Amino acid sequence: MRWVGRQLHGVLREASRAFPVVVLTGPRRAGKTALLRRLFPKAAYQLLESPDVVARVRADPRGWLEAQTTPIILDEIQNAPELLPYIRASVDAAPGKKGRWLITGSQDFSLMQGVTESMAGRAAVLTLLPLSAAELGRVELLRGGYPEVWARPRTAALWFDSYLQTFLERDVRSLRAVHDLSVFRRFLSLLASRHGQVLNRSDLAGPLGLSVPTVNAWLSVLETTGQVVLVPPYFENFGKRLIKSPRLYWLDSGLVCHLLGLRDHAQLDGSPFLGPVFEGAVAAELLKLQVNAGRRRELYFFRDERGLEVDFLIPRPGGRLALLEAKAAKTVVPSDAGPMSRLGAPATSERWVVYGGAQMLTVAPGVRAVPLGGLASALGV
């Protein structure tokens, strides 16, 4: 597979010129290390997963760090958080030197806690998610966005199996005391079947004999490691009574298809999960466009107690909104825009139907249809 340029490239380079420390977080195998090594080819490199390296760091963190040359990429810093105070001291000793410490981490919560405590104001924190449709130039729901799946599509099923096994053995055990991994694996499959639904924690707990606090803890693991996202309901009520629970999406369509047992296009196209998988791909694309531009995540959905529902809402400059409906079909009809029209959002709002076709076209007055791969240009990101 040829190198696919990452949209975060420019933001990452700009951050390295403005901050002494750049922290790049995101799920495992999203391409963080490859991006940093390609962007900063002259930087030294240390992988903080080798038992020997971690042992030396823990025995003498100051001495180990002082022996390194900068700029340096410190890969998977969550395995050696004791380095962060010494990096801070190094930064404070020479605050004018930028782009010295290039740090990656796959566990946002634990890593961010250390960064917040150790390097507030000293570090730029960015997120890299798997490849977006805009970066790939195409959409393939069964593959998702992990670079290695695109590099070796014939072994995608084996890759996803290995990824899940690695995830279970490493991240889950390091973040939470999950005593029965087989139950956790069943939890993942059950959660895949709830992809795109409003979250009901009791509905997840019951079939597995779990408590709701356990479900909350396991969901936290999946959020922390970049596997799922909980999209909150929009906070403005438009004069309506709203539901308060978030909607759950897996961030990679290939991974959720694998968990659902969908292995080819015929299975996916004939599955009741086609709509949710496509909708989740839209959610992921919207989030990727935001984080790749160095912006904070702002993604919401709308649903009131009478059943009026709009898939996604995004705040736009000037107090405007972008309203989006996701339709997996390759054709669109005016009724697809109905929920957005009935919502009563400000007249300045943008209205889009994201669909499985290939052309941008007008659906209804003030409503345009856009292919999933065209979202970046449509939204001007």
Q: How confident is the model at residue 238 (pLDDT cuts 50, 70, 90)?
A: low
Which residue has better confidence, 10 or 78?
10
**H or E element in which residue 85 lies:** helix 84-93
Q: What is the pLDDT of residue 119?
A: 81
In this prediction, residues 182-190 reach a mean pLDDT of 94
pLDDT band at 169 (very low <50, low <70, confident <90, very high): confident
| Position 221 confidence tier, pLDDT thresholds 50, 70, 90 | confident
In this predicted structure, what is the pLDDT of residue 94? 94
The whole-angstrom separation of Cα 266 and Cα 268 is 5
Element (H, E) at 255: helix 253-259
**Residue type at 33 in one-letter notation:** T
More confident residue, 188 or 172: 188
pLDDT at 170 over 80: no
Q: CA–CA separation, 179 vs 75, rounded Å?
A: 28
Q: What is the mean pLDDT of the chain?
A: 91
Tell whether pTM > 0.95.
no
Q: Are strands 350-355 and 320-327 parallel, antiparallel or unpaired?
A: parallel
Predicted local confidence at residue 341, as pLDDT: 85
What whole-number distance in Å separates Cα of residue 310 and Cα of residue 173? 37
**Six token digits for residue 359:** 């052309």
Task: Indicate if the pLDDT at residue 222 is higher than 80.
Answer: yes
Query: What does the block give as tokens for 126?
Result: 């960015």
Give the lowest-confidence range in 193-197, 199-203, 222-226, 265-269. 222-226
Tokens of 206: 């019951």
Q: What is the dihedral sign for C-alpha 194, 330, 288, 339?
A: negative
Bridge-based pairing of strands 228-231 and 247-250 is antiparallel
Whole-angstrom distance, CA of residue 205 vs CA of residue 208: 6
Are residues 36 and 43 in contact, defined by beta-carbon separation less than 8 angstroms? yes
Contact by Cβ (8 Å): 346, 335:
no
By residue count, the chain amounts to: 381
For the segment 241-264, the average pLDDT, to the nearest whole number, is 93
> What is the average per-residue pLDDT within 204-232?
93
| CATH numbers and ranges of domains, the chain | 9-128 (3.40.50.300), 152-381 (1.10.10.10)
Lowest mean pLDDT: which of 184-188, 239-243, 263-267?
239-243
* Residue entry with tokens 């990429």: 73
Q: What tens digit of pLDDT does each residue of 17-71 get? A: 999 999 999 999 999 999 999 999 999 999 998 899 999 999 999 999 999 999 9
Q: Indicate if the pLDDT at residue 348 is higher than 80.
A: no
Q: 334 preceded by cis ω (within 30°)?
A: no
Sign of CA dihedral 141, 139, 274, 216: positive
| pLDDT value of position 134 | 92
DSSP label of 144: T
Place 177 in a pLDDT band, splitting at 50, 70 and 90.
low
Average pLDDT value for residue range 282-300: 95
Q: What is the pLDDT of residues 105-150, one digit of tens each?
A: 886 656 667 777 778 789 999 999 999 999 999 999 999 999 999 9
Confidence category of residue 306, pLDDT binned at 50, 70, 90: confident
Cα Rg of the chain (Å, integer) = 22
**In this model, does residue 381 exceed pLDDT 90?**
no
Q: How far apart are CA 3 and CA 129, in angstroms?
A: 16
